[in-house]
Amino acid sequence: MKSVRFGLALIVAAVISAPASAGLFNPHVFTLENGLQVVVLEDHRAPVVTQMIWYKVGAADEPPGKSGIAHFLEHLMFKGTASAPGKIFSETVAASGGRENAFTGHDFTGYFQTLASHNLEQVMKLEADRMTNLTLSASDIVSERDVVLEERRSRTDNNPSALLSEQTSAAQFLTTPYRIPVVGWAHEIEQLNREDALEFYRQYYAPNNAILVVAGDVKAPDVKKLAQKYYGVIPKGEVSSRDWPKEPPQLSPRRVELRDQRVSQPSWRRTYLAPGSLDDKSHLSEPLDLLSQILGGGTTSRLYQEVVVEQKIATSAGSWFSGDSVGPARFGFYAQPVPGGDVQSLEKSIDAEIARIINDGVTDAELKRAKAGMLAQAIYARDSVTRKARIFGRALAIGLSVESVETWPERVKAVTPEQVQEAAKEVLDLRRSVTGLLLPEQKG
């Protein structure tokens, strides 16, 4: 254990002492004539590559009454094209020993393959093909719609905690489309059809609305040639700009209580509206990240030590900040009382800890530990071709720059205790909060 800790200390010390000009990933970046932005992250330690294509469209871009169409289309993208029908894409990846998957968020949709680097051209050809040549049959629509509905039933409807998250999100955002679940509302999913999917596809799936990230054992000039060969021939699309309604001032705290017969142990959560990556107050992002670590980032955090270790009124407690978003972000807390414990008493103790950090701030030692942990995570991200591709793809998909990713360690290192306290005062305002309670169903 001592050697592991010593090694971690050396890694963190190296990051902290690195010159300001040193980048986090040192990417090669270029843009094709049709608008496709390409990022190459060379890593020659293993003969593996990840290709990731990110589309700057997600659940928040869906037309009214069509919730779930972004996620539904993600499923349908695996149905094939005229030149690669059915499961040829997936079978090709599997035959080469690779793996593939896809994901949908509110702000983006992504597809990726990880496989031996000498197979990159093969999957790039296939991925470029389905960017523009997707074919869908009536049977594809029916079968995959049933799959999505079953996914919603198993992951949300059969999970009381997920249902509470859905309800608190709906209460959190007054106008921002983040209030609608990514998977969609069941009654709207049931009505999605082939034309809905193709219209969404034609509107948003275009090279000038996408980012290609290639990470692994490749050379940037080679990737550029392949990208021009396969993606470069695809014409630009007429992509609609994002014009979401602005969130109005939130003047009153909200509480959501969900009782369910499947719940045996109560739990508590709260989220506060916070500035997102493109907000005028986005400079609070790094202080908020560090605040979440100090308040609730693990067993040594303030919250865990106070309510779990000292008071022994909770079995778990923590906090988080999710700031990478086009629209408003959220800062969240969660806790679960001990069996037979009182949720209200637990909430009061958490509120007291929040008030303490707002009034008294954080110590230099706390901030130093939080920085060390976050910077170490950045170092570890370099060891995974998929993880660093995700970091870059997500950042660019929401509108951040390559420079903002590369200079992130410097911004973290520059945060002061006063800035963390300022962020706490700015964001942890009950008027912009939603508190959720998950409780057993009352008997009688």
Q: Could you tell me the two tokens for 239? A: 């992509």
Q: Which of 42, 62, 74, 195 is catalytic?
A: 74
Q: Are 166 and 157 in contact (CB under 8 A)?
A: no
Sequence letter at residue 439: L
Q: Could you tell me the two tokens for 195? A: 């034309």
Give the integer Cα–Cα distance in Å for 193 and 149.
Answer: 13
Residue 306 known to be catalytic:
no
Sequence letter at residue 320: W
Partners of residue 103 on adjacent β-strands: 110
Residue of 54, 68, 37, 53 lying closest to 200 (CA atoms): 68
* Pairing status of strand 37-42 against strand 109-116: unpaired
Name 400's Cβ contacts closer than 8 Å, sequence gap at least 6. Answer: 277, 324
Sequence letter at residue 173: F
Return the ∠ at Cα 397 (arms to 230 and 200), rounded to 5°. Answer: 70
Sequence letter at residue 318: G
Catalytic residues: 74
